[in-house]
Amino acid sequence: MNSELKGIWLSILEYSNYRDLSISTVRRYIKADRVRYKKENGKFFIYAPAENVQKVSEDKREVLALKMEVQRLEDFVKTLQEENNDLKMLVQIYEKPAVLRNEQPPALPGLPL
């Protein structure tokens, strides 16, 4: 009974995220009595020791923060690459001789009758 006080009850979705399992796998675990569970108002809750959940939550928080930073930097690199490509195009346009810049597009060939 004391062990219940040191743990928390997680929903199937929370437990699947906590253990990196699919929801269907968690349901199979419940059906096979591989996990300690209870059913309240038609909803299953799975027992998890509080220390483990807290540790995993802190680790996941750190990983999430790092993933967000990586995503931000990747977006920044993509923006810089797009700006660089635009500037390269402008340099090419300005480096062309004035005659070529004002050149009209070639006439379309006539259609055979």
Domain count, the chain: 1
Direct distance between the N- and C-terminal alpha carbons of the chain, in angstroms, rounded to an integer: 95
At 16-38, the pLDDT tens digits run: 888 889 999 999 999 999 999 99
3-state percent breakdown (helix, strand, coil) of the chain, nearest 5: 65, 15, 25
Burial class of residue 9 (count of CB atoms within 10 Å of its CB; 0-12, 13-18, 19+)? middle
At 33-85, the pLDDT tens digits run: 999 999 999 999 999 887 776 676 677 778 777 888 888 999 999 999 999 99
Q: Is residue 98 part of a domain?
A: no
Contacts of 26 (CB under 8 A, 6+ apart): 12, 15, 16, 19, 35, 46
Q: Is residue 113 part of a domain?
A: no
Q: Is residue 96 part of a domain?
A: no
pLDDT range class, residue 103, cuts 50, 70, 90: low
Range of the structural domain that residue 46 is part of: 2-73
Rg of the chain (C-alpha set): 31
Domain of 21: which CATH number?
A: 1.10.10
Q: What is the pLDDT at residue 51?
A: 72
Q: Is residue 82 part of a domain?
A: no
